[in-house]
Structure 1
């Protein structure tokens, strides 16, 4: 009996299982947490603007992709990833222009902006199998992103509420919550925060549209939902902050300003010029405005973490523009001595900056230079505290491995660098977490291990010739994927392509 028990234990160890005291082998093996994503295939959706955001239905094995070029949602059956099949698109010409898609349990939600986009938009819900319209809901102006709660009971949309080009019509930025149990729509605005501008701005929030209240000025961009479907976080990109939404009470609980990133600190070096003839990272007396685009939430070890792609974005309209270059500024000579030659185009002269920040003492010169975005990804707590920023990791890794693509061949060094646009996280058996960061200008996706969210480790760079400007990332986990492997789906806006990468481990 003793020998038999020892033998059983040996079999357990050899099979890489964890054994009970009685020597029995548990039913569930240890999860293989290795990752090795390799390019699989691509589909051509159309021309520029034809492929922005994709959603996948595990039931029908269909991929739904926003096609702005044609006012459609393109449909592909990817049951066989080696030979995806084109199906009839969903025509949205009668409703407006699509911006985002999401899928849950056989239902496809599409965010559609009106014409003009300052009017209320719609969320349309279709059956994923026969593409029949099941319902339509009126939401706020310019629904830019839509998602389901994790339990599928709610649909949440971030309604950006952008002004018209003359900046004479600036609708409220809002967040809509559609309760599928009774088809009710609750559209939340930020009017309760009007009057708090000074306090929020002191912490790095921005309210700066001409004549706009805070409620008009906020532009909800992207939504992340907690695993328990009780909370949503919404990025407010132009405003440099994030809203926290209670999905149970359907209220906006807080606005969290993101503050600024200091490029003079070691580890935060940037290339600030596209005219200096070199690709070199240096420290500069400049602050970056985080301004994240996509965000995603992940619960690791019982704690919620928010990952953000800090793209940056300026307001540049016919009726109002904040965007200038540093060499258009008058700099305070005590902060930026003439000897530093900061206005030279090979130094900071070419860097894109804003007219809305920097004159701290109101004497008509700039005491602090700001730039758009943070050229990084960040990790935030559920209450908006910065837990980690990737510093110059994106620039360092792309410059080392793919120098010809660095900051879009150096053409974007003066603007926002590689422009981190999209993020998604693969959860492998609650044991390992892999972050994917889409770089819009570099046409690449960076891969990091974020199992320890405050100490990410760089793993790899993914790219495919012909793909340009990754706009959306989507993880299809192995249990739902058409081939039983984890799949990364990359939707590329400029090239109109969607590419698939599979984890071959």
Structure 2
């Protein structure tokens, strides 16, 4: 099987103004060395992945079967399905999994998605059920604090399709200090921000659900925890914000608006149309809403920094939808005197935008054009202030390397430029890894596929390192019904986990990626060549 593995070395100078990091520069590449295949196409058979270093197992959410599959990676070149946790009796779907020192936590949504879900705890060795605890509606992500004393759950609280029932979003803080059998739950909710909707909107928090309070409108998506296990940052994707949570007090301390990205500025270009007959990465009068999905964090000189994959997401339900295209907006003629030209399908006309924001003066026409996601990853300080953004890098890099498959769909080959009017390459997953004193960000591109690698050791001097796409664009993306050998490779990277060398089965750093469309779980070996200067390498 020949897969398309495309890499770009250290010589590419992008428009982000990246600076060299002092001392030696590790040359890092990703090598696919093992893959588990389900043969299930586009049914989320491989989503969230978690690593158990004690037993060298990967726990993988298989939403297609409402299970958590357990893979043996003692031989990382041959990940083997060894067992399965069947969660179907506990709820409708397993959404997330995490592992810490012999304890497995699985987030499970209720049959009624607007009802409280639960977290089930299992023994990591014999997979026996230890306990279950009730959490909020639609528990979408679960993680342990580094010290293992708490498990945190992002309860998304999505409305029903008619938008007649809208549960509150929240973060469940599960106390494990007395063991999983004696676990107790407290809720960090957003009710104290109810009544502050106008103030929050003025600061840039998107609150717009029909008749929704702040607590109902905020939908926690993903969590990262500080190294000292005291604080957590939670992505509030649709609101374009982060929440800062005091873990021990189970209290939301603040809501941090993320602002927007000005795509009219040099370095922030984007391809905004799938009807322009080519690659056209250029500046447009558009404000990109960062709207991160996955987030992670690390420390630099004693301070915490949060890394975000700026995917973007719209509310689109039968009962309410904010999504439309720029050509269907009424643009303010003074702000956009060239509105007719902008709204042409080959320019901005096809770009997905929102009706929930943009009429700043309340006169019925749009004064600002917004887009979903920033087509980038960002680094922010602990208060949510932007420190770094990768600008137009992702589209520039994929345009150079994938000229015939730029901004493709993740479920169809021969789909050149199909995602340009949506969210471009759509960065969704991010994980961080520490190698030879350097901190790296690995970012998965959900649509065109592949993993971007950046050296983020110094958040103020970020360096692009590499890009690999383990996808063959020359074959049919959809698998035959009887296929157990998907030649297409990896489609739709959803979640990533970094395994440092000291926890790795082969004592080499590894990156494990769950791919929801191809149903594959792929193990990459992180190969490092150190350049110490003076012409000496090892």
Note if 1:187 corresponds to 2:194.
Answer: no
Q: CA deviation at 1:422?
A: 0.7
Note if 1:414 corresponds to 2:421.
Answer: yes
Note if 1:504 corresponds to 2:527.
Answer: yes
Matched with 2:458 is: 452
Matched with 1:294 is: 294
Check the 8 A contact 2:52/2:58 in 1, yes or no: yes
Q: Cα deviation per residue 1:427-482 (whole Å; 9 max; x = unaligned)?
A: 125x2011111000011110111112122111111221321010001001111111
> Secondary structure of 1:405's partner?
coil
Pairing partner for 2:119 from 117, 123, 147:
123
Note if 1:389 corresponds to 2:395.
Answer: no
Q: CA deviation at 1:83?
A: 2.4
Matched with 2:255 is: 255
Q: CA deviation at 1:68?
A: 0.4
Equivalent positions of 1:43-192 (< 5 A) are 43-47=36-40, 48-96=43-91, 97-182=93-178, 183-192=183-192
Matched with 2:439 is: 433
Q: CA deviation at 1:31?
A: 11
Q: Cα deviation per residue 1:342-400 (whole Å; 9 max; x = unaligned)?
A: 11000110000111111111111111111111111011111111111111111111111
Distance 1:44 1:192 in 2: 46
Note if 1:36 corresponds to 2:29.
Answer: yes
Q: For residues 60 and 32 of structure 1, do their structure 2 counterparts lie closer, same or farther at Cα, with a shift above 3 Å needed?
A: farther
Query: Please, which runs of 5 or more residues in structure 1 have no aligned partner?
Result: 1-29
Number of residues of Structure 1 aligned to a counterpart in Structure 2? 475
Distance 1:65 1:45 in 2: 12
> Secondary structure of 2:224's partner?
strand
Distance 1:473 1:480 in 2: 16
TM-score scaled to structure 2, two decimals?
0.86
Deviates more, 1:334-343 or 1:445-454: 334-343
Check the 8 A contact 1:481/1:487 in 2, yes or no: yes
Matched with 1:4 is: none
Q: CA deviation at 1:248?
A: 2.2
Matched with 1:398 is: 398
Distance 1:441 1:175 in 2: 29
Q: Cα deviation per residue 1:241-261 (whole Å; 9 max; x = unaligned)?
A: 000001122211100011111
Q: CA deviation at 1:204?
A: 1.6
Please report the RMSD computed on the Cα atoms of aligned residues, expressed in angstroms: 1.4
Check the 8 A contact 2:306/2:381 in 1, yes or no: yes
Distance 1:369 1:336 in 2: 10
> Secondary structure of 2:235's partner?
strand
Pairing partner for 1:485 from 485, 508, 531:
508
> Secondary structure of 2:232's partner?
strand
Q: CA deviation at 1:300?
A: 2.0
Note if 1:443 corresponds to 2:449.
Answer: yes
Higher relative contact order (CA 8 A, sep 6+): 2
TM-score scaled to structure 1, two decimals?
0.92
Distance 1:196 1:180 in 2: 33
Pairing partner for 1:495 from 518, 525, 534:
518
Deviates more, 1:87-96 or 1:153-162: 87-96
Check the 8 A contact 1:113/1:143 in 2, yes or no: yes
Distance 1:219 1:104 in 2: 26
Check the 8 A contact 1:46/1:69 in 2, yes or no: no
Q: CA deviation at 1:401?
A: 1.9
Distance 2:328 2:33 in 1: 47
Distance 1:82 1:387 in 2: 38
Distance 2:443 2:141 in 1: 18
Distance 1:404 1:481 in 2: 37
Distance 1:201 1:212 in 2: 13
Q: Cα deviation per residue 1:259-304 (whole Å; 9 max; x = unaligned)?
A: 1111111110111100010101111111011100000011122110
Check the 8 A contact 2:28/2:465 in 1, yes or no: no
Q: Cα deviation per residue 1:133-152 (whole Å; 9 max; x = unaligned)?
A: 11111100000000000011
Check the 8 A contact 1:45/1:74 in 2, yes or no: no
